[in-house]
Amino acid sequence: MIQKRSRYNVCVVGAGAVGIEILRVLKQRRFPIDKLTVLARSARTVEVDGETYQVRPVSPEAFKDQHIVLFAGTEGEKGAAVIYAKEAIRQGAVCIDNGADFRMDPGVPLVVPEVNPEDVKRHQGLIANPNCSTIQMVAALAPVHKKYGIRRIIVSTYQAASGAGSKAVSALAAEISAAVRKEKMPPPEALPQQIAFNVFPHIGPFQEMGYTSEEWKMVKETRKILHDENIQVTATAVRVPVSDAHSESVYVETKQPASIEEIKQLWKNSPGILLIEEPDYPMPIRAAHRDEVFVGRVRPDPSVKGAFCCWIVSDNLRKGAALNAVQIAELLI
């Protein structure tokens, strides 16, 4: 942990979509900040909810006297933490990294505060923020696993454009505009395919057995966070024409039988989870800009005893990135 004090020097590295959301969450949750530093590749100013922040170029010297460093990270790319985390730690900071570079390092805790807060105590200066899709799924399923045990998970994700960054959101808007105006569709640049009026099962590079990196993240990270290498996880990651908030269709087989009402009661009593019951159901348009993980469409598998299906929705930039990172920082202090 870090030395207790009334206020902390906090550094945010990255001023893209996740970095801006981290700044927003820090202010909304009134994190006890003494001095706030914002770093990025180049100097500039950014405005968040009417407040202007001065962004300085990132350098090793910028980490002097920092207590907590939040690396915004970029999925699918080597993040700034690869270059600068070691130096920040050497100068006395604790680093929280939203990128994928250190998540499966056995010496780095991978933390969802509602699920495995005790793992924060094992850090050696660096804590990893899980993948956005993994966070919302394990937040919902951890109470089930703790009480009944989970044998198998089959998940299909329906991931918003913002998961690929602000350029992907701009591409979605540009493609929709072109289609409505009946203009020539701009070539895909931020994403591998046209996203407007389309879905495609391709998030991250393809890897072993035909699965993408995003799909393997859900397999490996789920096991690490839940401390159970025997959970069978099969994932399909799909990009959909939604701006914010990821959705997931999840099938679960439990080790011990549980009724749907017992499962629902677990979620009603779980922090950070909001159960939406029929005839209503969670949707990205309602989950966007919210902190909760929404769960609905809960129903039993009629052919397999001890199995159920559910629909999980959460804002990928909030709980899936910025909020989870700030909650880790709150655990530290």
Give the model confidence (pLDDT) of 57-110 as tens digits. 999 999 999 999 999 976 445 689 999 999 999 999 999 999 999 999 999 999
Q: Are 61 and 44 in contact (CB under 8 A)?
A: no
CATH architecture of 8-130+321-332: 3-Layer(aba) Sandwich (3.40)
Average pLDDT over residues 255-277: 97
The domain spans of the chain are 8-130+321-332, 134-160+199-316, 164-198
Catalytic residue status for 123: no
Q: Which runs of E-coded beta strand occur in the chain?
A: 8-13, 33-40, 44-48, 51-57, 68-71, 94-97, 126-128, 150-159, 232-239, 246-254, 273-275, 293-300, 307-314
Give the model confidence (pLDDT) of 108-131 as tens digits. 999 999 999 999 999 999 999 999
Given 67, 132, 145, 310, the catalytic residue: 132
Give the model confidence (pLDDT) of 8-38 as tens digits. 999 999 999 999 999 999 999 999 999 999 9
Report the number of secondary-structure helices (H) and strands (E) in the chain.
8, 13
Indicate if the alpha-carbon torsion angle 158, 75, 163, 172 is positive or negative. Answer: negative
Say how far apart CA 324 and CA 326 lie, in whole Å: 6
| DSSP sequence for 146-183 | HHH-EEEEEEEEEE-GGGG-HHHHHHHHHHHHHHHTTP
pLDDT at 294 over 60: yes
Give the model confidence (pLDDT) of 164-199 as tens digits. 998 999 999 999 999 999 999 999 999 999 999 999
pLDDT at 2 over 90: no
Per CATH, the number for 134-160+199-316 is 3.30.360.10
Given 67, 123, 145, 246, the catalytic residue: 246
Say how far apart CA 277 and CA 284 lie, in whole Å: 16
Radius of gyration of the chain (CA): 20
Average pLDDT over residues 36-47: 95
pLDDT at residue 211, rounded to an integer? 98
Catalytic residue status for 95: no
pLDDT at 270 over 80: yes
